[in-house]
Copies of this chain bind each other. A is one copy, B any other.
């Protein structure tokens, strides 16, 4: 099972679109992250949700996390205002861009190892230089369990676990 066989469609956002819109899209659909592309469709960044959350953290707090603790609650509550009118392009250079990108022919274990190493819940899959799809952590687990357990399922019948495993 190769990356290009298990990746899926995933919404992408243009780098010149509003950061507020991107954050809202993530929040409304509980996405594990966002995929940012340039105007000509080239992949620019794969941002885990935890990275998008940093959009609302003032840059001086990002530079010195201890400052978060002394920020007044009233200021903290208004932090999202910093997003108003900003595009992703304006915000992204302040953020670390981990390139969570796999090749179409990478195995499920290569993708899993990359996810763990980069602590990224989503990996973009490239095929012939273009974005082919995205593999989320839940998609990867679902495919791994479905695939790897075919053999165990038959064992499970013997050990009386059939009902439990049959739900896969």
Contacts and interface: CB of A to CB of B under 8 A. Distances in A.
A61 to B, nearest CB: 6
Contact of A27 (B1, B75, B79, B141): B141
Contact of A73 (B1, B80, B145): B1
A30 B114 CA distance: 19
A127 interface: no
B56 A112 contact: yes
A119 B26 contact: no
Interface of A: 1-2, 20, 23-24, 26-32, 48-54, 56-58, 61-62, 65, 68-69, 71, 73, 75-81, 83-84, 106-110, 112-121, 136-142, 144-145, 147-149, 151-152, 168
